[in-house]
Amino acid sequence: MTTKLCQLGLALTAISTVGLATSQPVTAATFRFSVLDLGTLGGGYSIPRGINNLGQVVGDSPISTGAIHGFRTQPNQPINPATDDLGTLSGGFGETWDINEAGQVVGHFNDTSTGAIHGFRTQPNQPINRSTDDLGDLGGPFGSSEAFGINNLGQVVGGSQNSTGQFHAFRTQPNQPINPATDDLGTLGGSSSAAYGINEAGQVVGRSGTGTDSQSHAFRTQPNQPINPATDDLGTLGGDDSLARDINEAGQVVGFSQTSSGAIRAFRTQPNQPINPATDDLGTLGGDSSRARGINNLGQVVGSSQTSSGAFRAFLYEDLNGMQDLNDLIDPSSGFLLGNAFGINDLGQITGVGTIDNARHGFLLTPTALEPDDEEQDMPDDEEQEVPDDDEQEVPDDEEQDVPDDDIQSVPEPASTLGILAIGGVVGGGRLLRQRRQRSKAEPDKGAALK
């Protein structure tokens, strides 16, 4: 999610008074970021996915019973099970994906009475309320929808089945439920699409099938317009497929794409331009693949990349320094191994997931007083311990994990060079519900969150 720079004053104050209390003392040898362990809702892991400029983080975590619930933290604080559990709408699981400056949270939940997956948008800093927060759907036979992004106007984007059974991207009106007559964004010419990010202007990014659905491409719409195949196809880094995860106020888009060699690489476009293979490939940390998942209004990008050893590590990309392993920018004595970064706000705070004490926990990185070039510290190579790569799971990817699936988890992954990018029709709410239930019974997407 993207946010406005004019709203940073309060957040900066919060960080100066709260963030430093949770960080290492600032000394000449201080690392660029302090690390806050976000903890859990009482279960074994947490997966944060979004952050606003106040330092509130949202994501998922199992509660003590094992059920997966969404959470929203207080600014710059770890998860408090007593106050931060967003609950669900009908006793099933809940997944939380994004948050705006007002504290409105979006995600999706399963309705145990009908078996459908529904998108939701909460009231500011409130738990999920079924009577007000259910977004409905585009009119499909299974009544399913998933919400992945929200802007400061309260417009929500995601994917939903329409009346013909196809899964299409949607964008709501501010603080309104899904309206099938106005909110279906269509496709790039294929049968399916999904939206993952939106900026204040109402530009939406995601991925869509093209032509015969043999390829899926990233798209960026014009402000508050449906997908236009003639102008909105962002293309690729040279391969068949691409996927857009986030957009900032300037219209820069980040995501990942197949290259001409078949590798998967993170990309960042120029403002309101298509992908340019010559300039937009962000590279890797030494391995074959990388994926970008978040961008702020300064153009800083976060995501995950393979290292030369094949392990996946969280990265920060900046024009000045290129792609950097976030593990090299924190104190190794923190005990954290940072595997994946999902969001970055305009203050440079980063949230993602890593391992600490053999548990998968979310983290919040807060910049210290040092400038990027001030630190010359190198993280010991032994930190390069392998993060379970089991994560190739099923979320499309994006996360490969669980990123929204970008993955719209409900969309089966058809055979394609990029399974995570391939588009397919929804085969039924039952399949999605089974997948969700299975994930609620065990540690989800193990490596997924770390890819």
**Residue pair 150/134 in contact by the 8 Å Cβ criterion:** no
Question: Which residues are paired to 351 by β-bridges?
Answer: 343, 364
Q: What are phi and psi of 67, to 5 degrees?
A: -70, 140
Q: What is the mean pLDDT of residues 411-426?
A: 30
pLDDT tens digits, 289-331: 999 999 999 999 999 999 999 999 999 999 999 999 999 999 9
Complete DSSP assignment for 215-281: EEEEEEPPTT----TTT-B---BEEEEEEEEEE-TT--EEEEEEETTS-EEEEEPPTT----TTT-B
HEC-encoded secondary structure of 71-135: EECCCCCCCCCCCCECCCCCCCCEEEEEECCCCCEEEEEECCCCCCEEEEECCCCCCCCHHHHEC
Residues in the chain, overall count: 451
Query: Residue 423 pLDDT > 50, yes or no?
Result: no
Domain that holds residue 356: 5-450
Please report, for the domain that includes residue 160, its CATH number: 2.130.10.120
Whole-number Å distance between alpha carbons of 180 and 141: 13
Dihedral of alpha carbons 15, 72, 251, 266, sign: positive
pLDDT value of residue 108: 92
Give the lowest-confidence range in 60-64, 354-358, 367-371: 367-371
Q: Is residue 437 packed enough to be buried (19+ CB in 10 Å), middle (13-18) or exposed (0-12)?
A: middle
Domain total of the chain: 1
Confidence label for 415 from pLDDT (cuts 50, 70 and 90):
very low
pLDDT value of residue 262: 96
CA distances from 360 to 106, 306, 388 (A): 23, 18, 10
**Residue pair 56/103 in contact by the 8 Å Cβ criterion:** yes
Question: When comparing pLDDT for 26 and 173, which is higher?
Answer: 173
Give the lowest-confidence range in 201-210, 232-241, 351-360, 416-425: 416-425
pLDDT tens digits, 98-153: 999 999 999 998 877 777 899 999 999 999 998 899 999 999 988 899 999 999 99
Three-state SS at 337: strand
Q: What is the mean pLDDT of residues 16-43?
A: 67
Mean pLDDT of the chain: 81
Helix, strand, coil percent values for the chain (each to nearest 5): 10, 35, 50
Q: What is the mean pLDDT of residues 401-416?
A: 31
pLDDT tens digits, 180-217: 999 999 999 999 999 999 999 999 999 999 998 999 99
Question: Which residues are paired to 313 by β-bridges?
Answer: 305
Q: What are phi and psi of 222, to 5 degrees?
A: -75, 160
Give the lowest-confidence range in 50-54, 56-60, 210-214, 344-348: 210-214
Q: What percentage of the chain exceeds 70 in pLDDT?
A: 74
The helix or strand, by DSSP H or E, that contains position 12, with its residue range, turns out to be helix 8-17
Query: Residue 412 pLDDT > 50, yes or no?
Result: no
Q: What percentage of the chain exceeds 90 in pLDDT?
A: 69
**Residue pair 79/39 in contact by the 8 Å Cβ criterion:** yes
Whole-number Å distance between alpha carbons of 220 and 222: 7
pTM for this entry: 0.81
Q: Is residue 157 packed enough to be buried (19+ CB in 10 Å), middle (13-18) or exposed (0-12)?
A: buried
